[in-house]
């Protein structure tokens, strides 16, 4: 198996140019606006204990759009589309400015499109052309890694395949990819780590249970990801994970954030975030709506002054393992 060291600087230039063009054209057509990227508050909260710079986005732009659509019926899906991200939506009525870029992953047709509410610059959605469910599996890992091999300057993120555990559009397989993305989770320190052959496993110091896997071998990474997933689902198939894959300092890095839908945001914190917690939030950047209603002023004050405690409180509440069980699970992985 060719190691990533021989590929690290080999960005697929043709694909990179096409993605840059798609991004620039989205601004020209007003599918994405400058406000969509600059109109949100981006707050930073350094945590001395974890040595992580936690972040929160107050997503005013999306909240403003949602408010404008309140009470209006959603437009019908175009003919043949089964959900809002099916390929039939591209260029349909009301989405004339939505463009896409076809790509093949592991012999399966996918396509890339931009989201009108990007969290960061060059925020693309990588979507299966076939309408089929989300999955967390070896096959899914392989598809993400194939994209990463072509675009090592991107980070690939995946929500889970279980309702209520960091899944967005559960019915249609898709990933989120970002150019030059840095997430708070990348700065986690080890609680314990162990080198097994060419693979380094780390249990990260973080409010959630995060298993980090580093290796130069894609084959070894696939084996390791499959092993962790198999062990995590041994007790119940409802166990799942959010995943982040990137190439960093000459090797693959994979972050598996363990999830189970039985662990939810507590009621006292729902006033800050009532929607589910997706992969980006699980990685340390809360995406919160604009505070509204009678408590809006106080909620806004709370977020700005106590944002770190709010975000860490949410993450701790959705963590399916306590510290002792997380250590036991890690021991099982590396045994």
Would you state the pLDDT for residue 69? 61
| Sole residue written with tokens 């096409």 | 18
Tokens of 38: 């600059």
In the prediction, which pLDDT does 75 show? 81
Q: Which of 54, 96, 61, 55 is nearest to 75 (CA)?
A: 96
Length of the chain: 335
- pLDDT for res 61: 82
Please tell me the predicted confidence (pLDDT) of residue 138. Answer: 97
Q: Give the single-character DSSP code of 137.
A: S
Instruction: Write the burial class of residue 198 (CB in 10 Å: 0-12 exposed, 13-18 middle, 19+ buried).
Output: middle
Question: What is the C-alpha separation between 282 and 242, in angstroms, rounded?
Answer: 8
Q: What per-residue confidence (pLDDT) applies to 66? A: 72
Q: Tell me, what's the pLDDT at 3? A: 43
Low-confidence ranges of the chain (pLDDT < 50): 1-6
Model confidence pLDDT, tens digit, residues 249-275: 999 999 999 999 999 999 999 999 999
Structure tokens of 223? 């084996």
Complete DSSP assignment for 250-274: TEEEEEEEEE-TTS---GGGTTT--
Rounded CA separation 135/160 (Å): 7
Q: What is the pLDDT of residue 70?
A: 63
- In this prediction, residue 6 carries a pLDDT of 42
CA–CA gap between residue 234 and residue 317 (Å, rounded)? 22
Residue 130 has a pLDDT of 98
Cα-Cα-Cα-Cα torsion 61, 67, 70, 72, nearest 10 degrees, comes to: -50
Confidence at residue 4, expressed as pLDDT on a 0 to 100 scale? 44
Q: What is the pLDDT of residue 304?
A: 97
Kind of pairing between the strands at 251-259 and 190-196: unpaired
């Amino acid at each position: 198996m060719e190691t990533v060291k021989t590929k690290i600087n080999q960005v697929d230039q043709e694909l990179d140019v096409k993605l840059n063009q798609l991004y620039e054209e989205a601004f020209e057509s007003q599918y994405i606006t400058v406000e969509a990227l600059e109109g949100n508050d981006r707050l930073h909260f350094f945590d001395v204990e974890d040595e992580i710079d936690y972040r929160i986005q107050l997503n005013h732009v999306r909240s403003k759009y949602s408010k404008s659509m309140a009470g209006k019926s959603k437009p019908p899906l175009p003919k043949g589309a089964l959900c809002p991200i099916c390929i039939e939506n591209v260029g349909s009525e009301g989405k004339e400015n939505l463009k896409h870029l076809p790509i093949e992953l592991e012999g399966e047709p996918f396509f890339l499109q931009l989201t009108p509410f990007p969290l960061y610059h060059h925020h693309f959605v990588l979507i299966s052309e076939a309408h089929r469910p989300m999955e967390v599996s070896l096959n899914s890992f392989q598809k993400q890694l194939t994209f990463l091999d072509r675009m090592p300057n991107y980070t690939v993120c995946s929500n889970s395949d279980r309702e209520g555990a960091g899944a967005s559009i559960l019915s249609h397989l898709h990933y989120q990819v970002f150019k030059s993305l840095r997430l708070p989770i990348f700065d986690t320190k080890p609680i314990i780590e162990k080198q097994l052959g060419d693979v380094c496993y780390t249990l990260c110091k973080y409010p959630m249970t995060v298993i980090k896997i580093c290796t130069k071998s894609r084959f070894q990474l696939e084996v390791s990801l499959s092993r962790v997933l198999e062990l995590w689902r041994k007790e119940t198939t409802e166990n799942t994970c959010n995943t982040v894959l990137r190439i960093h300092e000459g090797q693959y890095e994979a972050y598996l954030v363990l999830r189970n839908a039985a662990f939810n945001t507590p009621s006292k914190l729902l006033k800050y975030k009532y929607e589910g917690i997706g992969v980006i939030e699980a990685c340390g950047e809360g995406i919160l709506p604009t505070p509204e209603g009678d408590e809006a002023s106080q909620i806004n004050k709370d977020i700005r002054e106590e944002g770190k405690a709010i975000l860490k409180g949410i993450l701790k509440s959705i963590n399916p393992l306590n510290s002792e069980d997380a250590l036991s699970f890690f021991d099982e992985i590396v045994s």
